[in-house]
Structure 1
């Protein structure tokens, strides 16, 4: 099959388009014909070797953990899905090798859920990792509830934009950091936008003089430090970008595959509680350009790679 792969760590130039071996389908997996796969910051961080201390790389590595596609063959133990089912998945294993930037991927059923009927494959591909991250942080680490004031950093990005919508659905008031050109976008999502950078603490205090009940850091560094200053008494703090949060009394969170959580997100999308924004799409052979776009760090919503199939 055709896929994107890399045989060594490095920049986008190490990504190659070509033939790789077809995936084997285990008893608890299904073979998915990939229609779209989203790019996430963790993809290029893995490609650069930043997760080498946690995840073994079995080269050549096919990158990508997000997928939207169609089941073409269930494994012998699978009862959850049938041929022709449209699915989404956060297909992460505990090593790097068999990713989703390919024509086919063998996906364990524990990583999959039904694709939302009201989304295109391109939109749906952006839901699993970002949606699960936002959902798991808000519901478990931060325990956001009605009446809370929640600060979300990089609120126009893939995770941030979904966190805004989920927190609003929970009945929280949301303050979101973003560059000024994304402020109208955040207002449409239901957040009160503030510009990040110097003076951020004062700008947030102008909106929430008594502090925030929960802060969701997706950036690390100065954003995390600002979050600590802005917490109200008893406030909760979580970060997906900076493990140093644990030394500040908060939780460091790494998203995990969860079919039930992903199914709940599908329901929320179909109820029009959550919408997905795709910034730009690239064909599979241009995955290196998709990585470069993601690395710019100014993306609104998601960057997605597509696989073209003849009708």
Structure 2
């Protein structure tokens, strides 16, 4: 076994924490003891952390936090990217200096995060090698949204003969889902606000505004019909898809459950899915729009922007 290796002598570092659950106003940047990698673990010096809706949903109140196994004081954020700066005994896949990205549930917005060498996001955290040509801000936006989009694509099983309706196509998961659907050969109709139309076209989707009259607008765009649907926001798109004749087995949701419809969960994405997505980014075949980046000291403003759900792309924290 390898001996544990350490590259820093710092004793404290920054971490965004909740002392009480709530909204952005409850977030604080704190000085905390530097964590250390145990057996089978690596420590990452985080350079960027991507925000997702699940981050603030999980920590919005004590009851919800308890369902996710969170207790006070609690960290914040799940997606991260950075550089390995400490390895524990028995680690063989990573070394100091390796660039990595991954997920560590509700503790990623911090100078350092410790994750298992072979772990899961919710249990021990996960780590993947960052491909050459992918910067850390982009890598920090991949894990949750990319895994969730891959899981949604797997449920509806798209091909070149499909026309898919994607609800919330301009959001964090949507930007991945649209492009993955196009890479699968499908025609994509994406819902969004009127102001998101150009952004959706740039991703390869045909934009349609959400809200009352959605079914009629989709019929006008696709008179031959829609064959699959992904609702990445709530339930409106899923119900519209049913009205358009899409069978339940080819509809999925990520933020709600509907009887008869299979929800998509990023934790159930196929093995290797996130590495495949990172490879597509590195090859220039999939782009990750970064809507905004903030220094960690402005975490509240960043969360307020992301929680507004009108951002076209990802919000990233720089550390």
Superposition TM-score, scaled by structure 1 size: 0.90
Question: Counterpart of 2:98?
Answer: 85
- Tell me how far apart the structure 2 counterparts of residues 56 and 234 of structure 1 sit (CA, whole Å): 32
Question: Counterpart of 2:67?
Answer: 54
Question: Counterpart of 1:161?
Answer: 175
1:96-115 alignment to 2 at 5 Å? Answer: 99-110=107-118, 111-115=126-130
- Tell me how far apart the structure 1 counterparts of residues 129 and 91 of structure 2 sit (CA, whole Å): 14
Cα deviation 1:104-160 (Å, max 9, x = unaligned): 001223322111322321122111111111012102x22222221111111111100
- Tell me how far apart the structure 2 counterparts of residues 75 and 230 of structure 1 sit (CA, whole Å): 54
The reply on whether 1:198 has 2:209 as its aligned counterpart is no
- Tell me how far apart the structure 1 counterparts of residues 164 and 81 of structure 2 sit (CA, whole Å): 30
With 202-211 and 185-194 compared, the bigger mean Cα shift is at 202-211
8 A Cα contact 2:249 2:262, kept in partner? no
8 A Cα contact 1:38 1:66, kept in partner? yes
Would the alpha carbon gap of residues 144 and 51 (structure 1) be closer, same or farther in structure 2, given more than 3 Å must change?
farther
Report the aligned-residue RMSD. Answer: 1.8
8 A Cα contact 2:164 2:229, kept in partner? yes
- Tell me how far apart the structure 2 counterparts of residues 132 and 37 of structure 1 sit (CA, whole Å): 16
Q: In structure 1, the residue corresponding to 2:207 is in which secondary structure?
A: strand
- Tell me how far apart the structure 1 counterparts of residues 235 and 246 of structure 2 sit (CA, whole Å): 20
1:151-230 alignment to 2 at 5 Å? Answer: 151-230=165-244
With 208-217 and 263-272 compared, the bigger mean Cα shift is at 208-217
1:10-159 alignment to 2 at 5 Å? Answer: 10-49=22-61, 51-52=64-65, 54-92=67-105, 99-110=107-118, 111-139=126-154, 141-159=155-173
- Tell me how far apart the structure 2 counterparts of residues 105 and 121 of structure 1 sit (CA, whole Å): 15
1:282-297 alignment to 2 at 5 Å? Answer: 282-297=294-309
Superposition TM-score, scaled by structure 2 size: 0.88
Cα deviation 1:229-249 (Å, max 9, x = unaligned): 224357611111112x2x1x2
Aligned residues: 298
- Tell me how far apart the structure 2 counterparts of residues 284 and 128 of structure 1 sit (CA, whole Å): 20
The reply on whether 1:242 has 2:282 as its aligned counterpart is no
- Tell me how far apart the structure 1 counterparts of residues 142 and 248 of structure 2 sit (CA, whole Å): 31
The reply on whether 1:262 has 2:277 as its aligned counterpart is no
- Tell me how far apart the structure 2 counterparts of residues 102 and 257 of structure 1 sit (CA, whole Å): 26
**Shift in Å, 1:222:** 2.6
**Shift in Å, 1:91:** 2.3
| Aligned partner of 1:5 among 4, 17, 35 | 17
Question: Counterpart of 2:4?
Answer: none
**Shift in Å, 1:253:** 2.2
- Tell me how far apart the structure 2 counterparts of residues 257 and 288 of structure 1 sit (CA, whole Å): 31
Cα deviation 1:266-311 (Å, max 9, x = unaligned): 111122121011111111121111110111110010011110xxxx
**Shift in Å, 1:68:** 0.8
Would the alpha carbon gap of residues 148 and 254 (structure 1) be closer, same or farther in structure 2, given more than 3 Å must change?
same
Q: In structure 2, the residue corresponding to 1:106 is in which secondary structure?
A: strand
8 A Cα contact 1:215 1:231, kept in partner? no
Q: In structure 2, the residue corresponding to 1:177 is in which secondary structure?
A: strand
